[in-house]
C-alpha cells in the first residue's frame, strides 16, 4: 500500500508475510533531480513486487534514486542491491557496514547463544531460519558512509543524520528541522518495541539504546516516520513508554533471578512477550532466539551496573546470579 504522508514524501508498506513485524515502511521522497528511498524490505519476492509496483505507480526512475538505509537488518537493507543502479548512492553507517563484512558472525552468534543455554537441538534450525541468513544480500555494496550531523538534501527537505546506537551499533535516524520530521528506522516504533539484543562481548546495547532515546527526546519532533507500523505524532510520549517498557523488563529479569542462578535462555522463558503462544515450549523458534538476545541485553545492562554477576561453569555454560 502506498500513502502520501507529506508533499513529495510517500510511505510504501512492503509486506513481510509470516513475520510478526507484518511490513517494513519504506519511504520514497521525490526530488527535483534525485529521489531518495529510505529502507527497502527483505530480499524476497513479495518485497520486490511491492517496490517495483511503487516505482511504477509513483513514476520514479531507479537510476535517479539514491538509498538511505537506517541499519543493517535484512528487512531494511535486504533489497538495496536490487534497487540501486550504478548511478545510485547507498547511504549507510560505518559500524553496521563493518559488522556485515567482518565475517564469522554465525560462528560467533551460535557459540554465544549456545553458551547462554539455547538448546543444541534447535540451534542449527534457528540459524537457518534467521532473516539475516535467508533474506540479506551480503555482496559488497558501494556504501557512501554517513555519520552524526551529515546532511542529505532532497527536494525541499534537508535531513540531518542522527546517530542512535542501540537497536544496532550504527543505527542512523534522519531529522528534518524545518518540518520537524524524524525518520526513525527501528529506533522508535509504535505498537511494538524495537528488539535490543546482546550476545557476547564488551558492549552494552541497552545502555546505548536508552541514551539514544534520551538524545532524541531533545529534538523537536512533530511526526515520526518509523520503520514499521503506524506513524507517531507524540514522539516524547512514545519515548517515555519505551523507557518504561525496559524498566519493566529489567524488573522481570530481576524477579526471574530471584529464583536462583540461571542462564539467559531460562530467564527469557520467564519474561513476558507480546507473542501469541500458549507457553515457552510452543513459542516460535525465531522468537526464542530474539527473546534470548533481548534477555541477554538486559542481563548485560544489569551486569555493568553491578546488580548481576555471570559465572561460567565447567561445561562452558554461562549462568547469571544476583550480586
Ligand atoms: Zn531492525
Whichever domain contains 270, its CATH number is: 3.60.15.10
pTM: 0.95
Share of the chain above pLDDT 70, in %: 99
Name, in order, each residue with C-beta under 8 angstroms of 281's C-beta and a sequence gap of 6 or more.
none
The one-character DSSP state at 177 is T
Q: In which region does residue 101 sit, left (phi positive, over 0), alpha (psi from -120 to 50) or beta (all else)? A: alpha
By residue range, what is the domain housing residue 207? 2-322
Q: Yes or no: say if 293 and 167 are a contact pair by the CB < 8 Å rule.
A: no
Instruction: Please give the pLDDT value at position 123.
Output: 94
Instruction: Please give the pLDDT value at position 136.
Output: 75
Q: What is the pLDDT of residues 37-89, one digit of tens each?
A: 999 999 999 999 999 999 999 999 999 999 999 999 999 999 999 999 999 99
Instruction: Please give the pLDDT value at position 138.
Output: 64
Cα 301 to its chain centre, rounded Å, is 18
Torsion over CA: 135, 150, 34, 31 (sign)? positive
Cα of 49 vs centre of ligand 1, distance in Å, is 21
Taking alpha carbons only, the member of 301, 313, 292 closest to residue 130 is 292
Cα of 316 vs centre of ligand 1, distance in Å, is 30
Cα of 14 vs centre of ligand 1, distance in Å, is 14
User: Where do the H-state alpha helices sit in 177-258?
Assistant: 205-217, 235-257
Cα of 76 vs centre of ligand 1, distance in Å, is 7
Q: Yes or no: say if 12 and 26 are a contact pair by the CB < 8 Å rule.
A: yes
Cα of 294 vs centre of ligand 1, distance in Å, is 13
Cα of 173 vs centre of ligand 1, distance in Å, is 12
Cα of 69 vs centre of ligand 1, distance in Å, is 11
- pLDDT beneath 70: ranges in the chain: 138
Instruction: Please give the pLDDT value at position 170.
Output: 97
Cα of 238 vs centre of ligand 1, distance in Å, is 18
Q: What is the domain count for the chain?
A: 1
Q: Yes or no: say if 80 and 91 are a contact pair by the CB < 8 Å rule.
A: no
Task: Determine the Cα–Cα distance for residues 126 and 285; give it in Å rounded to an integer.
Answer: 6
Cα of 300 vs centre of ligand 1, distance in Å, is 20
Cα of 47 vs centre of ligand 1, distance in Å, is 16
Cα of 186 vs centre of ligand 1, distance in Å, is 5
Cα of 75 vs centre of ligand 1, distance in Å, is 7
Torsion over CA: 103, 105, 110, 115 (sign)? positive
Amino acid at each position: 500500500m502506498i500513502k502520501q504522508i507529506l508533499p513529495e514524501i510517500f510511505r510504501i508498506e512492503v509486506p513481510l508475510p509470516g513475520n510478526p513485524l507484518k511490513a517494513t515502511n519504506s519511504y520514497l521522497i521525490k526530488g527535483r533531480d534525485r529521489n531518495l528511498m529510505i529502507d527497502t524490505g527483505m530480499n524476497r519476492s513479495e518485497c520486490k513486487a511491492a517496490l517495483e509496483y511503487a516505482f511504477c505507480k509513483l513514476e520514479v526512475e531507479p537510476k535517479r534514486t539514491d538509498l538511505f538505509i537506517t541499519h543493517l537488518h535484512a528487512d531494511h537493507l535486504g533489497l538495496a542491491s536490487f534497487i540501486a543502479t550504478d548511478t545510485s548512492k547507498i547511504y549507510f553507517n560505518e559500524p553496521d557496514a563493518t559488522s556485515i563484512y567482518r565475517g564469522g558472525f554465525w560462528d560467533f552468534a551460535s557459540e554465544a547463544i549456545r553458551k547462554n543455554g539455547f538448546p543444541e537441538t534447535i540451534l542449527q534450525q534457528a540459524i537457518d531460519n534467521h532473516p539475516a541468513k535467508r533474506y540479506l544480500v551480503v555482496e559488497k555494496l558501494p556504501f557512501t558512509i554517513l555519520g552524526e550531523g551529515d546532511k542529505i538534501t532532497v527536494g525541499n527537505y534537508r535531513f540531518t543524520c542522527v546517530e542512535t546506537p542501540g537497536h544496532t551499533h550504527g543505527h542512523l535516524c534522519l531529522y528534518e528541522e524545518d518540518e520537524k520530521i524524524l525518520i526513525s528506522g527501528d529506533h522508535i516504533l509504535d505498537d511494538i518495541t524495537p528488539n535490543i539484543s546482546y550476545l557476547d562481548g564488551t558492549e552494552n546495547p541497552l545502555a546505548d539504546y536508552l541514551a539514544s532515546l534520551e538524545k532524541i527526546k531533545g529534538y523537536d519532533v512533530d511526526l515520526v516516520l518509523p520503520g514499521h507500523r503506524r506513524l507517531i505524532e507524540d514522539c516524547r510520549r512514545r519515548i517515555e513508554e519505551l523507557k518504561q517498557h525496559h524498566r519493566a523488563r529489567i524488573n522481570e529479569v530481576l524477579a526471574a533471578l530471584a529464583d536462583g542462578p540461571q542462564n539467559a535462555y531460562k530467564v527469557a522463558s520467564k519474561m513476558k512477550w507480546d507473542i501469541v503462544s500458549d507457553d515457552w515450549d510452543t513459542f516460535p523458534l525465531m522468537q526464542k532466539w530474539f527473546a534470548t538476545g533481548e534477555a541477554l541485553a538486559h542481563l548485560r545492562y544489569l551486569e555493568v551496573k553491578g546488580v548481576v554477576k555471570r559465572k561460567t561453569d565447567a561445561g562452558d555454560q554461562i549462568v547469571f546470579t544476583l550480586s
